[in-house]
Amino acid sequence: MGAKRSVSDLKTADLKGKRVLVRVDLNVPLDDNLNITDDTRVRAAVPTIMYLAGHGAKVILSSHLGRPKGVTPKYSLKPLVPRLSELLGIKVTMANDCIGEEVANLVAEIPEGGVLLLENVRFYREEERNDPEFAKKLASLADLYVNDAFGTAHRAHASTEGVAKFLKPSVAGFLMQKELDYLVGAVANPKNPFAAIVGGSKVSSKIGVIESLLEKVDILLLGGGMIFTFYMAQGKAVDSSLVEEDELYLATSLMEKAKTKGVSLLLPTDVVIADNSSPDANSKIVPASAIPDGWMVSDIGPDAIKTFNGALDTAKTIIWNGPMGVLEFDKFAAGTEVLFVHKIIDIEHHRFSIAKKLADLSGNSVTTIIVGGDTVAAVEKVGLANKMSHISTGDGASLELLEGKPLPGVLALDFGTAHRATEKVIKFLKSTVRTLVLRAVCCLLFEAVVQVAGVDALDNDA
């Protein structure tokens, strides 16, 4: 995926007085009273909006919220206007629609440096269908396009991919660029040793990520519910736990692939087990190979934490996706929290050990990237998000990028100057090579003709 042109490439001369359609990701959680419960995505959109407004652009914001089936009041973007206005320090105007004459009139009234928020684009079925006519109507509102919604970059929708066909330039916003810099950089050119931590409930949901990472990482640590399947594949006793028996062959093949690739694949050596799945369940720590009948695995144990910590201590790049334990119950979230959190826990006196080490690593030239909603929530829950190198706002988009899949919302954007220059150099070299080859062929043909002519002359003399 080549380097994309960024909003930072656009200056006042490019932006002043121009209508700029900005696809942002304002898909935030709301409570029953339609109050925002987590404004992370709203805050993440601010730098790009401020940059555009600061350079005199007329900013038109486009986003979705939830999965509405047609116009649904509870999925309106109106509740976001007060918080957005507060963060920007600008009074944001709200449209009642995202296309149409009324919206066009509102766009015409936007002052330089002003901001207009369009209504939920998913109120139209044409959005998710990437309908060309709908995309054209959206594009008609603006002079150029900025995509800053990394969380939807894996979707080929009208507002993420379709509009880019009608608006030039089409560039990446600051958030989009940051996501690509970290995630593509980690995949394509990581600082080694490169470690990945992958958790989650099912092997089947992480096949693509694990297989892709095995091609790139030096260390792979597995946790969460998926370890049950790996345990059974190793012949360990696992009872009352989620085992994907149809994925046992896959688990075995992944372990064999890790061995072939020289990847250090680590599974927890001990686990925290519980006699039921309730928050007040009885729990204890046992070796992974000695899980009693009737008990379920709820988290990784202290020895596993120590082993994981030691492995991570050697890494220069770390990607974490998926929880290590049962996050719903704080009692069983130690493994997840202790990996990246400076928090006191007291499991066999392992106070601070892993947490402090990871906090130190994050600030000591080690790149730490947190990917996935549950994982990000775990880090934010304990207040350590700001200690990580990068917290990804994408979920599905991040995973697909880590799997090596193309992202339609990114592919639709213009290439950066460096990429275009490289393309020109390659084109020039190809042209030069073709010319040289053609000249060489002509020379050979000429020599052949001369030689034949010389032979004919000798024959005539004879």
Phi, psi of 359 (to 5 degrees): -65, -40
Looking at residue 170, what is its pLDDT?
Answer: 96
337, 343, 357, 376, 377 from 383: Cα distances, Å? 10, 10, 16, 11, 10
Q: Please return the burial class of 349, using the count of CB atoms within 10 Å of its CB with bins 0-12, 13-18 and 19+.
A: exposed
Looking at residue 186, what is its pLDDT?
Answer: 78
Give the CATH fold of the 7-174 domain: Rossmann fold (3.40.50)
* Superfamily of 181-403 according to CATH: Phosphoglycerate kinase, N-terminal domain (3.40.50.1260)
Continuous segment of H or E residues that includes residue 284: strand 283-287
Amino acid at 165: K
Q: Is 32 helix (H, G, I), strand (E, B) or coil?
A: coil
Instruction: Based on the residue annotation, tell me whether 351 is a catalytic residue of this protein.
Output: no
Q: Which of 78, 202, 306, 316 is catalytic?
A: 202
Continuous segment of H or E residues that includes residue 317: strand 317-321
Fold equal for 7-174 and 181-403: yes
Instruction: Based on the residue annotation, tell me whether 396 is a catalytic residue of this protein.
Output: yes
pLDDT in tens, the chain (462 residues): 557 789 999 999 999 999 999 999 999 999 999 999 888 899 999 999 999 999 999 999 999 999 999 999 999 999 999 999 999 999 999 999 999 999 999 999 999 999 999 999 999 999 999 999 999 999 999 999 999 999 999 999 999 999 999 999 999 999 999 999 988 887 788 899 999 999 887 888 888 889 999 999 999 999 888 888 888 888 887 755 568 888 899 999 999 999 999 999 999 888 888 887 777 788 889 888 787 877 877 778 889 888 998 899 899 999 988 877 654 444 444 455 555 443 323 333 333 344 456 667 887 789 888 887 777 777 777 677 788 888 888 888 888 888 888 899 999 998 754 343 333 333 433 443 454 455 556 566 666 655 655 555 545 555
Q: Which of 373, 381, 404, 405 is catalytic?
A: 373
Instruction: Based on the residue annotation, tell me whether 202 is a catalytic residue of this protein.
Output: yes
Work out the number of other CB atoms within 10 angstroms of the CB of residue 278. 10
CA dihedral 66, 72, 75, 78 (to 10 degrees): 150
Binding residues for ATP: 206, 328, 372-375
Binding residues for (2R)-3-phosphoglycerate: 41, 122, 155
Instruction: Based on the residue annotation, tell me whether 89 is a catalytic residue of this protein.
Output: no
Q: Which residue in 320, 425, 423 sits closest to 376, CA to CA?
A: 320
Looking at residue 274, what is its pLDDT?
Answer: 83
Q: Which of 129, 396, 404, 405 is catalytic?
A: 396
Domain ranges in the chain are: 7-174, 181-403
How many helices (DSSP H) and strands (DSSP E) are in the chain? 17, 15
Q: What predicted TM-score, i.e. pTM, was given to this entire model?
A: 0.77
Q: Which of 5, 19, 41, 216 is catalytic?
A: 41
Looking at residue 325, what is its pLDDT?
Answer: 65
Contact at 8 Å (CB) between 269 and 300?
no
Looking at residue 139, what is its pLDDT?
Answer: 98
- Over the range 160-186, which residues count as b (16 or more CB within 10 Å of their CB) and which as e? bbbbbebbebbbbbbbbbbbbebbbeb
Continuous segment of H or E residues that includes residue 340: helix 334-340
Contact at 8 Å (CB) between 9 and 171?
yes
Binding residues: 25-27, 41, 64-67, 122, 155, 206, 328, 372-375
Contact at 8 Å (CB) between 116 and 85?
no
Q: How far apart are CA 133 and CA 351, in angstroms?
A: 59
